[in-house]
Amino acid sequence: MTGNAAGTGDGGATTGRLLLAAAPIGRPEDASARLRAALAGADIIAAEDTRRLRRLAADLDVAISARVVSYYDQNERARAAELLGELLAGRDVLVITDAGLPGVSDPGYRLVRAAVDEDVPVTALPGPSAVTTALVVSGLPTDRFCFEGFPPRKAGERARRLASLAAEPRTMVFFESPRRLDDTLAAMVEAFGTDRPAAVCRELTKTYEEIRRGPLGELAAWAEDGVRGEITIVVGGAPEPEGLSEPADLAAAVAVRESAGTPRKEAIVEVAKENGVPKRLVYDAVVAARK
């Protein structure tokens, strides 16, 4: 990569280039010829796990001559500043994580943001991604989707996050640890319902790849005995609401409950739940009707 810099800093000096390199998510043979060449020619390689990088290089029969530094969650902030200095000094930096593309639930964003702010060229070496791989094999709609990363570890925070996604119409993709899969699927049942279609993708592209498809309730029961391997969860989006949707109708439904003695706040919650709409939408409809 040396000598291929294509940017200038504030002082007009040539800067290095930041390359985000996608690593295989399972089989080393999925690595591209471009990844092999980039690893062999890099000035500096910032790796999430330097030992795994060395193993990948050995599997690919690539001799690494670059300076290799660790770049993981705990040192990302400090290391990003150091790597930015190398880029501004004219050296190219290749960032690689354990699997998939840097910056997608892995270190990378801070360095990219800093490089962009300093007008350092940033490019990506595309390759495998657990997000899109799981999406296309899930059997769920792929035309619109969103990536939600890892759900919060704490039960309360996880429940609140999932509840906020209950009305999300797009297919949702999550990462999860096998140790927390059963708890997360149970929380998804609570937030999205027992019958919401989903898929649990385990060990994608590896020898023991397994794709479990079905309603969330069935998947939660399956996961109770424990599951091993790298996990990606795909959940279908919320179905189109079949109930009321017009503000005037929602406000009228709340008024009926209020006249029967139900407190307004409780009535708003009930109407929102019955019609599959956000509570805020019902609240705004009630406020508008009162005006």
Q: Provide the pLDDT for residue 246.
A: 86
pLDDT > 90 in the chain, percent = 81
Report the first-to-last Cα separation within the chain, whole angstroms: 65
CB 203 within 8 A of CB 26: yes
Q: Provide the pLDDT for residue 17.
A: 96
Q: Among 94-108, 150-164, 275-289, whose mean pLDDT is lowest?
A: 275-289
Q: Provide the pLDDT for residue 240.
A: 76
| Over residues 108-112, mean pLDDT | 95
Q: Provide the pLDDT for residue 275.
A: 84
| Over residues 74-97, mean pLDDT | 95
Mean pLDDT of the chain: 92
Phi/psi of residue 18, nearest 5 degrees: -95, 125
State the pLDDT confidence band at 4, using cuts at 50, 70 and 90: very low
State the pLDDT confidence band at 3, using cuts at 50, 70 and 90: very low
Phi/psi of residue 25, nearest 5 degrees: -90, 0
State the pLDDT confidence band at 100, using cuts at 50, 70 and 90: very high
Kindly report the pTM of this predicted structure.
0.78
